Amino acid sequence: MSLLRSIVALMSPTPAQKIRIEATAPTLKHWRPSGSFTTDVVGESHYFDNIRLIAMNMDGDGAVVHCTAMLAPEEENPSDPNAVGVWIEGKKVGHLSKDEAPLFRQALTAAGSALIPTTCDALIHGGGTHDGRRYNYSVELDLLPTSQNHQLSSASPTYQEPIRSSPHPYIFTQDPDQHFIAIPCVDRATIAMCEIGEEVQPWTKPSNGDVYLFAPGSCAGQGRLTVLSTQRFPDFATTLERLEYLTIHAVDGRKVIVSMTGFPAE
């Protein structure tokens, strides 16, 4: 079995294989995570069915899946001699772009790992259905190979299941005086607008009472963090009137936590 085939088997093992992985599987080097998923995988639409099997969001909701991707140089790709395929759970999900692939290969060579598959953290989101329309998935990689601080480190061959989360916002408390809104997946452009301690801008849609939350400095409808629909949060528009303000409390990768000051007591 070739190295690539054995690694693909590693990324999607059977229950029996999981037990034997540590003793038999090749160890891949892993790109040290930075916490930001800034590299887009291209061609995901061609691998929609593969990604849907990984995401498992069969009920119409969009996906939010944190997982590990394998990046494999494709020496025999007839379309691009620099091609780098992206695999998750033993299934191909796309490629690095034609601009990113040569830079990635240069980084591999500099790290002494030319043509050898490596892994990195990955995020799958999207793929939901709205008004009968199915949207494509996006696959993003925590990969900054051109950064001097982004280096390869040893990776454990122990199999790790993808972490699948709900795409919907939710409210939680840490104590009776601290209430927060967790937003699981925010787009990159909006994340860049989120400064800790800055105020979030709410807007209530007059026609149905849905509350839209916008990042600090948003304008012309840009920078939307999330929508708190009346279907899921039937009383939030009334609660909003009694809040003093909403602020960005924390940013963790693509997840944003909003603090609610003046949340009414039960």
DSSP letters along 139-172, please? EEE---TTSTT--EEE--------EEE-SS-EEE
- R_g over Cα of the chain: 21
**pLDDT band, very low/low/confident/very high, at 16 (cuts 50, 70, 90):** very low
Q: What is the mean pLDDT of residues 206-229?
A: 92
Q: What is the pLDDT of residues 101-160, one digit of tens each?
A: 999 998 888 888 888 999 999 999 999 887 778 888 999 999 875 555 567 776 555 567
Average pLDDT over residues 196-211: 94
- Name 247's bridge partners: 199, 259
pTM: 0.81
Residue 21: predicted pLDDT: 35
Predicted local distance difference test score (pLDDT) of residue 215: 96
Compute the mean pLDDT over every residue in the chain, rounded to the nearest whole number: 84
- What is the per-residue pLDDT for 102? 92
pLDDT value at residue 158? 57
The pLDDT tens digits for 42-65 are: 999 999 999 999 999 877 788 999
Q: What does the pLDDT read at residue 22?
A: 40
- The Cα 55–Cα 62 span in angstroms is 9
Please check the confidence at residue 80 and state whether its pLDDT lies above 70: yes
Q: Quick one: pLDDT at residue 151? A: 76
pLDDT value at residue 148: 53
Q: Which amino acid is at 94?
A: G
- Contact indicator for 38, 126 with CB cutoff of 8 Å: no
User: Does residue 199 have a pLDDT over 90?
Assistant: yes
**Domain positions in the chain:** 3-164, 170-261
